[in-house]
Structure 1
Amino acid sequence: MSTTAPHKLTVGEKIGYSLGDLAANLIFQTLMAFLAFFYTDIYKIPASSASLVMLVGGIVGAVFNLVMGAIADRTNTRWGKFRPWILWTSVPFGVIALLAFSTPDFSESGKVIYAFITYLLLVVIYSANNLPYSALSGVMTGDMKERNSLSSYRFVSVMVAQFIIQVLLLPLAISIGKGDKAAGFEKVMLVFSIVGVICFLITFFTTKERITPPKEQKTPLRQDLTDLVKNRPWLIMLTLTVLVFITLALKGGMNIYFFKYYLSEASQTAFLQQIGFGGFLDSLSNTFGEAAFMEFRKADSAPYATSSIANAASTIAMILGIFLSKPLADKYGKRNVFGWFLTLSALCLMAIVTLSTASVWGMVVLLAIHGFIYGITIPLLWAMIADVADFSEWKNNRRATAIIFSAMIFGLKVGLSLGGAISAWLLSIFGYNADAVQQTPEALNGIKMLVSVIPGAVFIAGACLLFFYKIDKKTEIQIEAELKLRRA
């Protein structure tokens, strides 16, 4: 194993690397938060068909991750193994993202086919881009504290993207589209695609791969897969990743339904008046013109404004939580901190089940507390996966970074697909009807369960897995020290 530069990363390299996650998450966060809503309420695909599209497309895309991991580990260019993939996929990623959120006027079956093709292409290009991007963090430095720091930078960018998506996307789509959400989504996604391509290029030009396998290492793919199956920490992290992203897809995808259908419109209107939202709109209208914000003065717009404000509070709290992640992980170890705070965040979600239809403030406060607690865990998942790659090298004397990360992104895709599909499927089971003015009590109760008890229980199941994950702080230090000696 060789290195070609010191392990300390400059602030510029950390920022440059983090912009890749900003680019990817402008799309990824949109998938998590709005894909089910986009399919059912904007493109008017039946919930059962939307569920099938997200499940089948997501699973196929997830399987492609394993193929992509083997390809990336065997890529050899003058730019390294992983950086060139960020360059090669930047423009296709932007184009396909735009197509996936376009709404051509087809028949119902034509819409389902178009949604499936574009979603499948999007998850495949996401794998070809984000897998090498994630693996890059494992070869930029071998210093575990530097990895914790890099993860913190990275996930601040993730939170910026999440803020943009969960707080600004719907208002921008409504405002730019002048009430036509389909046209608004297309215009906003065009901007996101252009910004994303620029950010990917910055990541490519500002980063460097330093940890490389020995030139004589020629590991058969079968050996890589055998090493994975025997790697217990990897198996645990794979399962944990699936559970985490099932939860994020459930909670994120259902939030807009909770505000639109469960919380009463009168309570949300009163909430907006209490926080001075009308005066805020007046000041914006004076600057940008009344026409730009007229949609938010309509009676039925309160849920969109309230959900954006609640998501803003949650995202800001997450960013604050991220800043505590590194010092806590350095002191207590990634495993312990991840498990403690994942459990606490689950309890916050489960508390939502106690809210009445008038509890707007309660929802906003619980989302903010959940955001702060969950934010502490956000950088740790990917830093732990990089540790698993080190564990594999330490145990087997072979480096296979990308295939380990590919399996984790496989878990991400499976979790995201299952979470999105479960959301749409349960909505149909509960009797949700996108064209109904008022949902049935069964549908309303189902929506509440999908943002509270169900995702909270999945989070707790993930936290329990960490009792069997043996890479604690003491083992981290041992692995890092011994690998340094070998690489020298």
Structure 2
Amino acid sequence: MENLQKAEENVEIFKITDEPKTVTLKNKIAYAVGDMGNNFLFDMGQLYLLKYFTDVAGLPSALAGTVFLVAKIWDGFMDISVGTWIDNRANISKRGKFRPFMLWAAIPLGLLLIANFTIPNFSVTGKLLYAYVAYMIFGTVYSISNIPFGSMVPTMTRNSQERDELASYRTIGANLGLMLATIGFTPIVLLLPTQKIGYAVAVIIFAILGVLCQWYCYANVKEVYKVPTKPKLTKEELKEQYKALFKNKPLIVISVVNLLTFSSFNLKSTVQVYFAQYVLKDTAAVSYLGFFSIGMILVAAVVVPFLTRKFDKKIVYVAGCLIWAIGDILGFFFTTNATTFIFFTTIAYFGNGFATTLNWSMISDCVEYGEWQSGVRSEGLVYSFFTFFRKLSQAVAGFVPGIVLAWVGYVPNQQQTAEAIFGIRGLMFLYSGSLSIFAIIMILKLYPLTDARFKVIMKEVVARRNKKTTKD
């Protein structure tokens, strides 16, 4: 560590250079389209499934919330299992280590998504059991598709700035998917004679689009740095991989921070439907919000690579969380109609775009840090550890609204009490704003990787690899 600090202090003298650039514009666009497809498939559950459970399937809100809690915790452990499996696969085809999963998992994901929004007319107990099983199976297959997708970046490029750009493209694709899902879903539902039919048709449309996007990504991304086949690990070697995870301080910090920020983001996405319907009494506001606020996330994703050329990633991340917190706190006090709702939420989502974009770049940096620190390189395990916390955040985002809505006396499709209105408002703004402030404190105080330090680490890691190759 002392040598690393000395090298960092003398970074200007020794002029540490980045790795070569290996990603084309076509690759970047394909990677963006891939995450757009991920979000067509994934966001249906985060945005609309709780409302489908309560208002269409007729499940009590507290029970519906437990589906998210249990299913997402299950998903988190599935992420770790899939990450371990991916890292230690013995049979790697010419298609690559990660790409094939996008090809084979796409259609099952689409079918499972449709199954979640077509609950049969069972008893409440039967519907609840069906919801648990369908959503947990969907989450398992999504892990099999998404863990390789996110783990692939270190094999696409070793260049830090290029990783920032891929993270930016990924964020643009993801939020285009979220924007289109937010803008397009409700109008499709309203066009159909009943909500039940409307939800089913809308989900089928987005499932087909999601599958096509994932296939396009598979066909147009490239694993430049081939991963050698590993011999079968012993139990002791597997234990060492897991021990290395918990020694990776940047990974721990960014995972916990993401638990805060992503639960805020997902909870807002869930609650905004309730807020528009019952507080603003304007369901069309959700579509307008999707266009303006999520559009600002895209603006942030474009801006971030330019900012990270001039400022350290930590500083850019903190600036985004600060903007996010300000937007939400002001929104709680001053939102009175659709216009002010969109205005303040747009500010918050712009700040969110900084954090969302940089998460993907920073987690790739954690892979290199882990290899530098322990000698163990585990792209899939590192990424799945990170997504484990994202799944926990989704569990929180699905569970908390259901519990709070039940606590404040929410009744579906009825005039809400003042207590219920206050609860919905607090969920929409205060929850998110307060967690953004905690994220700022953690990044500033605990996250150890600066850009200069990462370049030193990357240089040492590459030197070790070259030395090992020479010996072999």
Verify same fold: TM over 0.5: yes
Corresponding residue for 2:6? none
Task: Give 1:225 deviation, angstroms.
Answer: 0.2
Task: Tell me how far apart the structure 1 counterparts of residues 29 and 244 of structure 2 sit (CA, whole Å).
Answer: 33
Is 1:7–1:140's contact at 8 Å kept on the other side of the alignment? no
Does residue 40 of structure 2 align to residue 40 of structure 1? no
Q: How many residues align?
A: 442
**Residue ranges of structure 1 left out of the alignment (5+ in a row):** 266-302
Task: Tell me how far apart the structure 2 counterparts of residues 237 and 374 of structure 1 sit (CA, whole Å).
Answer: 15
Corresponding residue for 1:228? 245
More divergent stretch after superposition (183-192 vs 204-213): 204-213
1:428 corresponds to which of 401, 406, 423? 406
1:25 corresponds to which of 36, 39, 56? 39
Is 2:82–2:147's contact at 8 Å kept on the other side of the alignment? yes
Against the structure 1 CA distance between its residues 215 and 30, is the aligned structure 2 distance closer, same or farther, given a 3 Å change threshold? closer
CA RMSD of aligned residues (A): 1.7
Task: Give 1:212 deviation, angstroms.
Answer: 4.2
2:425 corresponds to which of 441, 444, 448? 448
Corresponding residue for 2:371? 393
Corresponding residue for 2:10? none
Is 2:155–2:227's contact at 8 Å kept on the other side of the alignment? no
Task: Tell me how far apart the structure 2 counterparts of residues 30 and 401 of structure 1 sit (CA, whole Å).
Answer: 28
Corresponding residue for 1:174? 190
1:313 corresponds to which of 272, 279, 292? 292
The secondary structure found in structure 2 opposite 1:165 is helix
Tell me which amino acid in the other structure corresponds to 2:76.
Answer: A
Task: Give 1:122 deviation, angstroms.
Answer: 1.1
Task: Give 1:486 deviation, angstroms.
Answer: 3.4
Corresponding residue for 1:77? 92
1:142-291 paired onto structure 2 within 5 Å: 142-175=158-191, 177-178=192-193, 180-213=194-227, 215=229, 220-263=237-280, 265=281
Task: Tell me how far apart the structure 2 counterparts of residues 104 and 253 of structure 1 sit (CA, whole Å).
Answer: 23
Is 1:171–1:304's contact at 8 Å kept on the other side of the alignment? no
Tell me which amino acid in the other structure corresponds to 1:77.
Answer: I
Runs of 4+ aligned residues of structure 1 deviating over 4 Å after TM superposition are 212-219
Tell me which amino acid in the other structure corresponds to 1:148.
Answer: D
Task: Give 1:20 deviation, angstroms.
Answer: 1.4
Is 1:313–1:367's contact at 8 Å kept on the other side of the alignment? no
2:308 corresponds to which of 329, 332, 337? 329
**How high is the sequence identity, in percent, across the aligned residues?**
26
Task: Tell me how far apart the structure 2 counterparts of residues 365 and 196 of structure 1 sit (CA, whole Å).
Answer: 30
Task: Tell me how far apart the structure 2 counterparts of residues 158 and 402 of structure 1 sit (CA, whole Å).
Answer: 20
Task: Give 1:213 deviation, angstroms.
Answer: 4.8
Task: Write out per-residue CA displacement over residues 317-342 of structure 1, whole angstroms, 9 at most, x where no aligned residue.
Answer: 22111111111122212222112211
Is 1:234–1:404's contact at 8 Å kept on the other side of the alignment? yes
The secondary structure found in structure 1 opposite 2:439 is helix
Is 2:322–2:351's contact at 8 Å kept on the other side of the alignment? no
Corresponding residue for 1:92? 108
Task: Tell me how far apart the structure 2 counterparts of residues 334 and 211 of structure 1 sit (CA, whole Å).
Answer: 25
Task: Give 1:191 deviation, angstroms.
Answer: 1.6
Does residue 117 of structure 2 align to residue 138 of structure 1? no
Task: Give 1:429 deviation, angstroms.
Answer: 0.6
Task: Tell me how far apart the structure 1 counterparts of residues 230 and 424 of structure 2 sit (CA, whole Å).
Answer: 56
Task: Give 1:462 deviation, angstroms.
Answer: 1.8
Does residue 82 of structure 2 align to residue 68 of structure 1? yes
Tell me which amino acid in the other structure corresponds to 1:442.
Answer: E
Task: Write out per-residue CA displacement over residues 50-89 of structure 1, whole angstroms, 9 at most, x where no aligned residue.
Answer: 0111111111111111110100111231222211222221
Does residue 95 of structure 2 align to residue 118 of structure 1? no
Task: Tell me how far apart the structure 2 counterparts of residues 64 and 223 of structure 1 sit (CA, whole Å).
Answer: 20
The secondary structure found in structure 2 opposite 1:226 is helix
Task: Give 1:398 deviation, angstroms.
Answer: 2.4
2:330 corresponds to which of 336, 351, 358? 351
Is 1:127–1:409's contact at 8 Å kept on the other side of the alignment? no
Task: Give 1:32 deviation, angstroms.
Answer: 2.1
Tell me which amino acid in the other structure corresponds to 2:210.
Answer: G
**Residue ranges of structure 2 left out of the alignment (5+ in a row):** 1-18, 467-472
The secondary structure found in structure 1 opposite 2:283 is helix
Task: Tell me how far apart the structure 2 counterparts of residues 191 and 254 of structure 1 sit (CA, whole Å).
Answer: 23
Does residue 419 of structure 2 align to residue 459 of structure 1? no
Corresponding residue for 1:477? 455
Task: Give 1:482 deviation, angstroms.
Answer: 2.5
Task: Give 1:218 deviation, angstroms.
Answer: 6.1
Is 2:36–2:210's contact at 8 Å kept on the other side of the alignment? yes
